[in-house]
A and B are shown apart, each in its own frame.
Chain A
Amino acid sequence: MSPGPYHQAADLSSLEPGTHLCAFDRDDSRLARVAANFIDQGLSAGAQLLYVATDDQADALLGRLRAHVHAPDALATGQLVIRSFADAYGTRRPDDLGAVADGFRAAAEQSRKDGFPALRVAARMDDLAPLLGSTEEVLRWERMATGLQHDLGVTSVCLYDADRLEAEHQALLAVEHAGLCPERSKAPLASFLAVDEPWGLRIRGEVDVSNRDLLQRVLESRAAVMPRVRLDLERLTFADIGTLSRLSAVAAGLPDDGWLVLDRAPDVVRRALDLCGLGHERMRLEP
């Protein structure tokens, strides 16, 4: 199911890590909607999001994020990072694309060190052609980015103002990407948002066989940085037994001084834990 307006819209809920997407539009507000959708979906999946855009474009984005993705929180935890094009890609034409690759690699590595399972990037590309000097160079860049991001597992969407592109160039650019990013996607079954104080995750919605492996990856990324993890479950409405056994397995994998706190777990989770005896000494319910 792809409710987006594009014919070949990618399904953001089942992207392979490292997928290189694009969007073209003359209408800036539609590009903003694409960016907001991509960032909503990525934040919900626990990924770190880098938005490369102007201040005005960033402000427009923050107003469009879904309510559950509380933008100030996402900015405060560093799960959402906004950079200008100049800060992200530099102001001088790079001598070779290897330097760009090193920058990407460093960003992906930093994301892991900050406790995120993956980095995703949404970038306004309007300044790329002026920076690189030619449309040929932009194509070369995009081609390189596809391979590099696949290797690094960095998913991205390149947002192009169609007014600034020749039709032929737009078609060539599209070919260098794996698909179009839709303006709208179905809301994910659950969101896994980073929390800094106390260190952990805020889980909202339902977790079952369709998304429990993702939760485990997100949780393990948090625990790898700090093994004392608190899960805010106040807005969790469902978790199946496989999810609970994964939580228990994560707790079992923590060092002796680590813990996994299930904060405000709903009754259906408490009942299931009780019936299946899936507890672990380093996993505890509060209150």
Chain B
Amino acid sequence: MTSSVATHTGLFYDSDAQYTREAGGFLRKGLELGHRALVIAPPRQVDLLRAALGRDTDEIAFVDDGIGYTPQWNAYRVLLDFANEAPGVRLRVVAEQTLTGRVPAELLDYRRLEAAVNVVFADFPVDVLCPYDAGALPAHLLAIGRHNHATVLTDGDLAPNSGYDDPLAVLADLSGVVQPPPDATTMDCSSPTHIAEARRLVHTRGAEAGLAPDVVANVGLAVTEVLTNALLHGAPPAHLHVYDEGPTWVCHVHDGGRGSLDPLAGMVPPTEPSDHGYGLWLARQLCTAVDVGKDRSGTHVRLHTRRAAPPGGSDLRA
């Protein structure tokens, strides 16, 4: 392992003992090397690590997965913020979230997030370990771990992962366009003055959907930024479609721009203050999931918001 190149490693554990031994050992080794350590994990895993690591936990930053992965792309932000506290110092990161409650749009985005780590952070001084509960997770969720980590941690050693897929191929595979349904509400947004009207539509529909005012305000900001991008950098016509899709409420921005799409656009913020380049970054920080794709008719950005849970029912999984 050279110090200049990032590593992204999967850990597939069957027991608490295996989890604490492997993840704890990974963190402890980093601390011995003078690296800084960050854990984003469910509370139960945090408790296991704290118990196992004793006094070493004082040197580790812990973030509850309910914060670190809300929304999921916030995990990138947590990592970047942690890195910025001590530029140049190598990081050890253990990153895991509770996947079982995720809706399909979120799981799609989680696959993108896991694939993109390999490219976005490739030159970053960081070693990321992603533990997967092999004893509990269904096969399709374990597969996300199996395909997106170049190495696997077993008994304290890193071994190449034969199931690893090319991350850009994974991202391309996940960029398919979904068309708005026939019953979507559609608004023409080809002029700058239409953007305020689009916000009005988002606020009205969001409130009707029972979403909290701050959630609706976030979606209004995300829609504004994506529409503004479409107007300034895309091509007419630009439309906003609003509709429900299973457990999520979708604000779908479609413009006629046919230029090439950077598959990594907006996964990290612009490094210098700039007049643009924040749209997709902000959307991913404000919405529950973001699909970006292209077809012959132009560019599609779909901003998902989880709908309010039905009374008494918690199962939103489609």
Contacts and interface: CB of A to CB of B under 8 A. Distances in A.
A210 B282 contact: no
A268 interface: yes
B273 A248 contact: yes
Q: Which secondary structure dominates chain B's binding surface?
A: helix
A210 B195 contact: yes
Contacts of A267: 214, 217
Nearest to A190: B196
Interface string A202-213: 000010111000
A238 B223 CA distance: 13
B118 interface: no
B276 A242 contact: yes
Interface residues of B, number: 27
A90 to B, nearest CB: 42
A240 interface: yes
A240 B221 contact: yes
Given A238-B221, A275-B77, A275-B285, 17 more contacts: A189-B193, A206-B196, A209-B192, A209-B231, A209-B232, A210-B196, A238-B199, A240-B228, A268-B217, A271-B221, A272-B221, A275-B269, A275-B281, A276-B269, A276-B278, A276-B282, A278-B273
Interface string B19-32: 00000000000000
B228 A242 contact: yes
Contacts of B77: 275
Interface string B271-309: 001111011011001100000000000000000000000
B220 interface: yes
Interface residues of A, number: 20
A189 B192 CA distance: 12
A242 B278 CA distance: 9
Interface in A253-282: 267-268, 271-272, 275-278, 280
B273 A238 contact: no
A42 B220 CA distance: 28
Interface in B246-288: 269, 273-276, 278-279, 281-282, 285-286
B95 to A, nearest CB: 20
Interface of B: 77, 192-193, 195-196, 199, 214, 217-218, 220-221, 224-225, 228, 231-232, 269, 273-276, 278-279, 281-282, 285-286
B224 A275 contact: no
B273 A210 contact: no
A94 to B, nearest CB: 42
A241 interface: yes
25 contacts: A206-B196, A208-B195, A208-B196, A208-B224, A209-B192, A209-B232, A210-B192, A210-B193, A240-B221, A240-B224, A240-B228, A241-B282, A248-B273, A267-B214, A267-B217, A268-B218, A271-B218, A271-B221, A275-B269, A275-B281, A275-B286, A276-B269, A276-B281, A278-B273, A280-B273
Contacts of A189: 193, 196
A135 interface: no
A245 interface: yes
A241 B279 contact: yes
B84 to A, nearest CB: 9
Contact of B282 (A206, A208, A272): A272
Q: Counting chain A CB atoms within 10 Å of each CB, which of B77, B195, B273 scores highest?
A: B273
Interface string A183-203: 000000100000000000000
Contacts of A240: 221, 224-225, 228
Contacts of A248: 273
Contacts of B196: 189, 206, 208, 210
A241 B229 CA distance: 11
B192 A206 contact: no
Contacts of B221: 238, 240, 268, 271-272
A99 to B, nearest CB: 41
Contacts of A245: 273-275
Contacts of B199: 206, 208, 238
A64 to B, nearest CB: 25
Nearest to B217: A268
B275 A242 contact: yes
A277 B275 contact: no
Contacts of A210: 192-193, 195-196
Contacts of B214: 267
Interface string A98-140: 0000000000000000000000000000000000000000000
